A and B are shown apart, each in its own frame.
Chain A
Amino acid sequence: MTSRRDFIRTLTGAAALAGFGGIPLDVLARHELIKLTVLHTNDVHSRIDPFPENDPKYPGMAGVERRASLIRSIRAREKNVLLLDAGDIFQGTPYFNMYGGELELKLMTDMGYDASTIGNHEFDNGIDGLVKQLPNARFPLLNCNYNLADSALNDKVLPYKVFENGGITTGIFGVGIELAGLVDPHLYGNIRYEDPLEKAKHMAHFLRNEKKCDLVICLSHLGYKYNSNKISDEVLAQKTSNIDLIVGGHTHTFLDKPVSFRNAANTETLVAQVGWAGIRLGRVDYYFDIRTRRKMATGTTVKINSKTIAI
């Protein structure tokens, strides 16, 4: 069971994330701790069935049935769970060509997803194609930097949502990638892209200070990082304050555990991303001191395979 050994190594690495704003844990331990488990996926791309066994890269991996089972197991053990996705739910297997995203959204609803954001491939059947499928999602799509006022998505997408789990208030908002030069213009119509950095700064400040959130999470489809100066999660993490966790997507980046950045307020912002296709489920556990509201986090990922689920 080398997987178990690998797992311990991963965890040790995760514990080494212990920047954690320099909170003395013995202080935390004296008070009651509330645990909140954040589970996340990104760029699942209609991967409902596992990859075929003859796939050169990911033989037998992924699959919604196994992910649903894993999430059910985690829910049985954890009282407070948030299940999030960072976009590109659509496109990649014939399920999308044939059913237009209906099954993807139904299954995410069944698994109890709390929120997702809009990835560029959500527009692959045009705005109308997305609007048509939205009734199948009983969870919100969050985005604060697409101006949807002149599109059929107006009032169908929320900029943010606040969740209460066991006394912990979590504010979640979403940011999306620039569509020009990426998505065929006739597919995204009158959606106007606005600066995600400025919008994120504003939104995070609002959620922390106005909505008094203990935890602020950004669902981002900007991409993890680029060689150019294009806005990315790496830039967003360092140039904003008040974001605790960025659940990212778009670049299909496999991060074994969340990456820790010093943000503009010199506190910690974590960036997580779990590749694509539902090959892995990301997990970040937050522990809150109920009295001081201070927190710490550990993060890891779970690989979803045909025969084993290994770390």
Chain B
Amino acid sequence: MKYFIFLAVLFTCACTEHRVLSRHETNEYVFSDSTNHGTDSLTASEIRPYREKLKAGMSIVLCESTAPFEKGRPESALGNFVSDACLLTGNQAYTSSGNTPADFAFFNTGGLRRSLPEGQVTKGDVFELMPFENQLVVLTMNGKLVKKLFNFIASNGGDPVAGVRFEIHDQRARAITIHGVPLDTNAVYKAMTSDYLANGGDRYSFLSEASKRDTVKLKVRDALIQYMYIQGKVGDKISPVLDGRIKNDQ
């Protein structure tokens, strides 16, 4: 089956008051299905050996999903999934070396690089969602810094979080609860995030105020792969969830 495209360059311009000049050049580009002439054979042969080597590892199906996961603000199915999975899997790795678990997790919306599809989710899909080599870290911070953090997230319009709920009012966070308990600005909390944000990436320079930083020996991407692999093994499908953890207060 063939598909046609007409690429025309068209001049219509009434640049002077009384005279109009128009000129048309029409080119026709013909493309067909990818198996035929719609692709460039030289390029295809250059890509092939690279693709073949990738395919073996990346086409592994980790689990199935019941619907697509997409990113967005103030909360999103994709952001909720990533932060919930990282908090759970990250805490398993973190507590196995004798630490007390992180209370909540946060990430940046810009770090979610692709939607997850409905149906089979492959390892390659997760690499495209989270292509970076970022490591999970746990930051110890006082309640005042936690409040600053959520105010910052509120000023962004919301970002992926887990273990926490709040409302955005005038670009600030209010009614903040952590695991259902109101935020205590005199308490000390542990937050899981990526080393990219902990190093001040995406305007998070204030995270240098955290009193302690522990490295979790797990990449963000590997935490997601582990989580999905286990879901797949036990036969549970993953489903997009919106639970109002961040709400715009209007």
Contact = CB atoms under 8 A, between A and B. Distances in A.
Nearest to B116: A56
A23 interface: yes
A56 B68 contact: yes
Interface in B1-35: 3-13, 15-16, 19, 21, 23, 27, 29, 31, 33-34
Contact of A93 (B5, B128, B205): B128
B54 interface: yes
B145 to A, nearest CB: 18
A97 B34 contact: no
Contacts of B37: 69
Q: Which range contains the number of B residues in contact with the other chain?
A: 35 or more
Given A66-B38, A68-B40, A107-B43, A4 B6 contact: yes
A92 B131 CA distance: 5
B132 A110 contact: no
Interface stretch (A147-155, A201-209, A214-222, A302-310): A302-310
B46 A97 contact: no
A29 B44 CA distance: 42
Contact of B115 (A55, A69, A91, A184): A55
Interface string B118-138: 111000110110011100000
A36 B224 CA distance: 48
B54 A95 contact: yes
B103 interface: no
B202 A66 contact: no
Given A65-B47, A77-B27, A92 B113 contact: yes
Contacts of B232: none
Interface in A62-113: 63-66, 68-70, 72-74, 77, 91-99, 103, 106-107, 110-111
A285 interface: yes
Contacts of A302: 5, 7
B114 interface: yes
Contacts of A15: 10-13
B218 interface: no
Interface centre among A23, A68, A96 (most CB of B within 10 A): A68
A288 interface: no
A123 B31 CA distance: 36
A254 interface: no
B124 to A, nearest CB: 6
B196 interface: yes
A49 interface: yes
B54 A182 contact: no
B143 interface: no
A285 B24 CA distance: 13
Nearest to A102: B50
A26 B19 contact: yes
A14 to B, nearest CB: 8
18 contacts: A4-B5, A20-B13, A24-B16, A25-B11, A45-B113, A48-B50, A49-B51, A57-B70, A63-B34, A63-B39, A65-B40, A65-B43, A66-B38, A95-B50, A103-B50, A107-B46, A302-B5, A309-B31
